[in-house]
């Protein structure tokens, strides 16, 4: 799925603005394709969710596997682009991550960091659940997770306008990004450490 995503992006860039260096693109040329691109992104997320649904046995386990699939998909996507068009040349290169609800931009290492965290914690959660241990997300965990996600997303939105216009100055959102990542890791770690035995699941295994 990551390879397919990368290939589609290569084709779209060639069709929309072949002379532009990633991530800059002519807004006028992109305008016609924007609804198609947004729909493609949403369809990709639906496919990732479907794989997670098929892989898991419970809602939480399905969510864990969806996180793993998302992380792997994202990393393979960048590998595909590097093979196909020699981009990104380094993990410092800028990228447009999503367009919903507005363009998300950041250096490549930032979404890769998110993906590695999703893979790690997704696998850990799936393993705990398969072992018959329950993971209870308290309101505190949920609140921290939502706040962390909001901070990371905000960090990707801050420089959207200037990066889309072709500017490549340093990323101003990195402190917000790291605050979100630290909060997310803390919330996920405490939730996993608090996992307990699920009597119902243990009885049926």
Q: Does residue 83 surpass a pLDDT of 80?
A: yes
Phi, psi at residue 195, to the nearest 5°? -65, 140
Phi, psi of 36, rounded to the nearest 5 degrees: -65, -40
- 189, 190, 196, 201: CA torsion to nearest 10: -50
Predicted local confidence at residue 134, as pLDDT: 85
The confidence score (pLDDT) of residue 157 equals 94
Assess whether pLDDT exceeds 80 at residue 36: no
Q: Decide if pLDDT at 202 tops 50.
A: no
Model pLDDT for residues 152-182, shown as the tens digit of each residue: 999 999 988 787 777 777 899 999 999 999 9
128-156 burial, b at 16+ Cβ within 10 Å, e below that, comes to bbeebbbbebeeebeebbeebeebbbebb
Per-residue confidence (pLDDT) for residue 101, from 0 to 100: 73
Tell me, what's the pLDDT at 13? 58
Q: Is the pLDDT of residue 5 over 60?
A: yes
């Amino acid at each position: 799925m990551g390879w397919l995503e990368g290939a589609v992006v290569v084709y779209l860039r060639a069709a929309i603005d072949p002379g532009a260096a990633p991530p800059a693109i002519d807004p006028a040329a992109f305008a016609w394709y924007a609804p198609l691109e947004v729909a493609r992104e949403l369809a990709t997320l639906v496919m990732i969710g479907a794989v997670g649904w098929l892989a898991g046995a419970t809602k939480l386990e399905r969510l864990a596997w969806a996180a793993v699939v998302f992380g792997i998909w994202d990393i393979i996507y960048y590998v595909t682009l590097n093979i196909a068009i020699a981009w990104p040349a380094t993990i410092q290169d800028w990228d447009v991550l999503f367009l919903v609800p507005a363009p998300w931009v950041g250096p490549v290492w930032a979404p890769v960091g998110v993906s590695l965290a999703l893979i790690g914690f997704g696998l850990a959660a799936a393993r705990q659940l398969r072992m018959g241990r329950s993971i209870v997300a308290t309101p505190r965990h949920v609140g921290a997770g939502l706040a962390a996600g909001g901070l990371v997303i905000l960090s990707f939105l801050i420089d959207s306008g200037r990066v889309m216009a072709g500017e490549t100055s340093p990323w101003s959102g990195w402190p917000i990004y790291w605050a979100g990542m630290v909060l997310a890791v803390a919330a996920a770690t405490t939730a996993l450490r608090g996992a307990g035995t699920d009597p119902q699941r243990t009885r049926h295994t």
